[in-house]
Structure 1
Amino acid sequence: MTSSLTPTLDKPGIVRRFFALPPVWLVLGAAAIAIFYGVITGIGSEMSIPFQVGAALIGTAGSIGLYLLTMRVLARRRTPELRWADGREFLLGGALGAFFIIASVLIVAALGGYTVQWHPVDVFTTVMLAVAVHIGTAVIEELVFRGLALQVFEKYVGPWIAIAITALLFGGAHMLNPGASLWSGFAITVEAGVLIGAAFVWRRNLWFAIGLHFVWNTVESLFGIPVSGHRSPGLFETTVHGDAWLTGGDFGIEASVISVGLSLVLSALMILAARRRVAAR
């Protein structure tokens, strides 16, 4: 028996299936996270430093909530990639990020590209602002590029092409940064795009990727080096000498061939580890 209510009852099913499509929840989730974080931190930027820190932390927490909402309500899936456990993944990722940036700075300095001197102004404020800003940046970018985009593309083309696609998107997004060039875009595509993409596929944990990204940016900032073209107060004063190919120029050490070379080595190691993990499933 057919009821006049049948078309109405069919509509929720169609709507639910539409919003459950990976490209749809990718776009909606990424837009919600980016807009929310941008609005909150934009308001905070007009206030004093304590409010800037607070806005960054509120924006970060709210963005995680929006990610969870997107995955559970629209994508209709659990989020094991955000499993915190004892924080070990975050600490392991942070250790890798610290190694990457400190090793890069030391090599460039040894080759005569940097002179690094301890030059703090207000240690507590400088550290707190750097931590708040960079944890926000790391969380937002990893939720969007690895949590949403990489996992969507992975459904259609597998993990390796998904890493390549999201790396290109990540590099392209940074082409609007101060001091950006075709070279810096390529460099950030390789370093952050491929490196962190491989890190996520290997560990299947966003906190590992977030820890890597966060500590990398924070340590770089505290060295007094521009982070992807954005300069902020640091605990050290790093004076640049020589050619931009070595130092990264105005974009920062991420545009140095030293950082690119080191990231290729680390990426290769993590891709090998990730391949073994994927093959073992």
Structure 2
Amino acid sequence: MRRFRFPVLLVALFGVMSMTGGINQLVSPVPALALPVGVGLAVAAVACYRWLCRTVELRPDVSELGKTGRWSHLRRGTLLGFGLFAGLMALIAVFGGWQGVSWGSFGGFLSTAGMMASVAVTEELLFRGVVFRIMEERTGTVIALVVSMLLFGALHLVNANATLWGAFTIALTGGAMLAAAYVATRSLWLPIGLHFAWNFTQAGIFGVTISGSDVPPEGLLNVTLSGPTALTGGTFGPEASLFALLVCLVPTLLLLRRAARTGRIRPRPHRAEVSA
């Protein structure tokens, strides 16, 4: 079965992601249920990934989900994700993109926390744990990074208010930065924390549109944005703002620089190595 590990893992993790998304939608109206269910789904997805890697790939040690450094990577990723998105919103405010601010919903805040926990985990397991990791073994870091980030951007084209520009910016910001976080640490915990905090800060705190979704975000605040798409991201949300590219460029380059210095950038293997 190991020969077919890529399609098997791809289909299995895509199914897990779709199933958790459906469950989240069902429980989202009940905050007291949505939070523990979302966290439980995230834990279950990690367990499923570990089981698949051991069963399909015959890997007894799933090092990318190792216990060493787990909490420190999650903490650093969470702080980084919160700081980056808060910085993005501050830049939009400075340049006049905030039209209004009102209080939102604490229940929505809790529901969003649960949902974003499972979203961050399942998407990282699929895109960095399967797509990027296995492609990197075959093509090297650079090609795997480019292909995985483009696929990550393309996934967001299914959203109701998606745009090509929005998907492109998601690829360059989220796709590249999260892959860089994985390469720099060789752990999925840092990108999981980063992904969660970015999404949660966006929808659960500021209450702004996330990735072109047509589902109204419910957060602690309701921030209304107004202005040119280059500033606010338009209907796609702040992730399509030019400021999002600028905010994410610096940590992406720093993470890749760290990976290069520590020898974690992998060259394209020779054909004989790939065959082996």
Q: What is the TM-score of this pair, normalised by structure 1?
A: 0.86
Which protein has greater RCO, CA pairs closer than 8 Å, 6+ apart? Answer: 2
Q: Which runs of 5+ in 2 are unaligned?
A: 267-276
Find the counterpart in structure 2 of residue 15 from structure 1: none
Kindly indicate whether the alpha-carbon contact (under 8 Å) linking 2:109 and 2:218 is maintained by their aligned counterparts in 1.
no
Which of 82-91 and 218-227 deviates more? 82-91
For 1:23-42, list aligned pairs within 5 A: 23-42=6-25
1:149 matched to 2:134? The reply is no
Work out the CA distance in 2 between the residues paired with 1:197 and 1:228: 18
Kindly indicate whether the alpha-carbon contact (under 8 Å) linking 1:93 and 1:209 is maintained by their aligned counterparts in 2.
yes
Computed over aligned residues only, the root mean square deviation of the Cα atoms, in angstroms, reads 2.1
For 1:85-234, list aligned pairs within 5 A: 85=68, 87-115=71-99, 117-121=101-105, 123=106, 125-221=107-203, 222-230=205-213, 231-234=216-219
For 1:59-70, list aligned pairs within 5 A: 59-70=41-52
Q: Which amino acid aligns with 1:199?
A: A
Q: Deviations over 1:150-186 (max 9, x none)?
A: 1110110011211111101000000111321110011
Find the counterpart in structure 2 of residue 3 from structure 1: none
Higher Rg of the two aligned structures: 1
Number of residue-to-residue matches in the alignment? 261
Q: Which amino acid aligns with 2:23?
A: I
Find the counterpart in structure 2 of residue 265 from structure 1: 250
Q: Which amino acid aligns with 2:199?
A: N
Find the counterpart in structure 2 of residue 10 from structure 1: none
With over 3 angstroms needed to count, the CA separation of the structure-2 counterparts of 1:79 and 1:252, relative to structure 1, is same
Find the counterpart in structure 2 of residue 236 from structure 1: 221
With over 3 angstroms needed to count, the CA separation of the structure-2 counterparts of 1:247 and 1:20, relative to structure 1, is same
Q: Secondary structure at the match of 1:112?
A: coil
Q: Which amino acid aligns with 1:275?
A: A
Aligned-pair CA distance for 1:197: 0.5
Aligned-pair CA distance for 1:39: 4.8
Q: Deviations over 1:240-259 (max 9, x none)?
A: 12111110112111000001
Q: Secondary structure at the match of 2:263?
A: helix
Work out the CA distance in 1 between the residues paired with 2:82 and 2:244: 13
Work out the CA distance in 2 between the residues paired with 1:120 and 1:42: 19
Q: Which amino acid aligns with 2:179?
A: G
Aligned-pair CA distance for 1:118: 4.9
Work out the CA distance in 2 between the residues paired with 1:195 and 1:126: 27
Q: Deviations over 1:108-148 (max 9, x none)?
A: 11011124635134x2x232112101111100100100011
Q: What is the TM-score of this pair, normalised by structure 2?
A: 0.87
Aligned-pair identity in percent equals: 29
Aligned-pair CA distance for 1:28: 3.8
Q: Which amino acid aligns with 1:186?
A: F
- Work out which of the residue numbers 274, 278, 281 in structure 1 matches 2:259: 274
Work out the CA distance in 2 between the residues paired with 1:99 and 1:271: 19
Q: Deviations over 1:70-101 (max 9, x none)?
A: 11111111211112446000011111111210
Kindly indicate whether the alpha-carbon contact (under 8 Å) linking 1:25 and 1:75 is maintained by their aligned counterparts in 2.
no
Q: Which amino acid aligns with 1:24?
A: P
Kindly indicate whether the alpha-carbon contact (under 8 Å) linking 2:34 and 2:110 is maintained by their aligned counterparts in 1.
no
Kindly indicate whether the alpha-carbon contact (under 8 Å) linking 2:202 and 2:208 is maintained by their aligned counterparts in 1.
yes
